[in-house]
Structure 1
Amino acid sequence: MAQFRETPYGVFNYLVDLSDGSETDVAGGFSEVSGLNAEVTVAEYRAGNQKTNYVTKVPAIHKSGDITLKRGVIGAENLYNWLDQVRSGDITAKRNVVVKLMSENHAESVVQWKLVNAMPIKWTGPTLTAKGGSDVAIEELVLAVEHITQE
C-alpha cells in the first residue's frame, strides 16, 4: 500500500520484479523505468432531443502505455530470452511485473505499480561507437502492458 508523507520520494531508489527471480539481482537492475501511465478514453454522446448544445462524455475503454526498461549490458540473457519466448508464440510468456519505489534506506517499498500481463514487444541493443569515451552500453526492453495498478 502506498505510504503518504508531505515530502516527495526520490526517483532513484526502486526495484523491478520481472517475476523471474532477478528482483534484487544485478540481472534485474535497471537504470531507468519510463512510461508508467494509464488513460481512460471517452465516448461522446448527444441525444437528438437534448436541450443543451454540447455532448456528454462517457468513460469508455481504459488502456496503459508501453513501459520502457533500460539497463547496462552485463551479459545477462534474461530479457532477450523473454522476448524470444514471446516470439516463439509461448502463451505463458505474459508476466505480472512489479515496479517498487523504495524508501531512502531501502528498507521498504512505499509505492508499487503492478504491470498486469506484461510482455516484451521490443528489445534494442546498445549503440556502439569507436569514438571511445566513458558511455555505458545500454540495452532497452519495451513491455506491452494490459493494465497498471498502484498499491
Structure 2
Amino acid sequence: MALPDGDSSVGHSFGLEFDGVTIKSITEISGLKIEQDVVEFKENGPDGKYQIRRLPGRPKAPDITLTRGLTGDNSFDKWVNDSRFGKMSDSRKGGSIIVFDYEGQEVKRYKLTNAWPKSLEIGSLKAGDTSYLSEKLTLTCESIEVQGK
C-alpha cells in the first residue's frame, strides 16, 4: 500500500517471515535499525589547516527483539534449540520482518540475512495472575536492508 505524500503509517500489525511461513502474531518489535560505524580521517587540507573528515565505515548488524503472546506454536522453540546445539546450517535463515497496515496490506519489509535466535525469554509467571503471557525472541543477523515494493 503506497502512502500519500505527507502521511505516515501506523504499525497496526507485524509479521515474521522465514522459510515461506509468516507468523503474524507479533505484538512488538524493538532493535530494528540500520547502522554503520563512522571512520574519522584526519588530515591537513589544501590550505594547511587541520581537519577531521567523517567517512562511512562497516555496517553493524542489529539484535532484534520480537514479542508475541505465548501460544502452542513451537516454531520459536525449535529454532532456539537448533542454534543452542550448534545446528547452525539449520539455524541461520534468511527472512523478513513485515509491517502491515490496518487492512492487512504490507507497508514495509526489512530483509534479514543469516538471522538466528540469540535468546528466548518467557514473560513473568505468577500463580493466580490473570495477565497475558508473552515470549520474547531475540534475533541476531549479519545484515538488514529495507526492501522496496
TM-score bracket, shorter-length normalisation = 0.7 to 0.9
CA RMSD of aligned residues (A): 1.9
1:1-50 deviations in Å (ceiling 9; x for gaps)? x83423211112232213262x15xxx52111111101111111213x54
Matching residue's letter, 1:99: I
How many residues were matched structurally? 143
For the Cα contact (< 8 Å) 1:3–1:111, is it kept in 2?
no
1:61-116 deviation digits (Å, cap 9, x = unpaired): 1113210011111122111110111111113211122112223311x312111111
Given the two structures, how large is their TM-score scaled by the length of structure 1? 0.84
Q: Distance in 1 between matches of 2:142 and 2:51?
A: 32
Does the 8 Å CA contact 2:3/2:9 hold for their aligned counterparts?
no
State percent identity of aligned pairs: 23
- Note if contact 1:35-1:67 (Cα within 8 Å) is conserved in structure 2: yes
User: Which residue in the other structure is 1:104 paired with?
Assistant: 102
Runs of 5+ unmatched residues, structure 1: none
Q: What secondary structure does 1:30 align onto?
A: strand
The normalised TM-score by structure 2 is: 0.85
> 2:108 aligned with 1:126, yes or no?
no
C-alpha distance in structure 2 between counterparts of 1:100 and 1:129, whole Å: 32
Q: Extract structure 1 runs of 4+ deviating beyond 4 A.
A: none
Q: 1:43 to 1:35 in 2, by over 3 A?
A: same
Which structure is higher in strand share? 2
Q: Structure 2: which 5+ residue stretches go unaligned? A: none
Give 1:49-88 correspondences, 5 Å limit: 49-50=44-45, 51-88=48-85
Aligned pairs for 1:1-151 (under 5 A) are 3-5=2-4, 6-19=6-19, 21=21, 23=22, 29-47=25-43, 49-50=44-45, 51-92=48-89, 93-106=91-104, 108-130=105-127, 132=129, 134-151=130-147
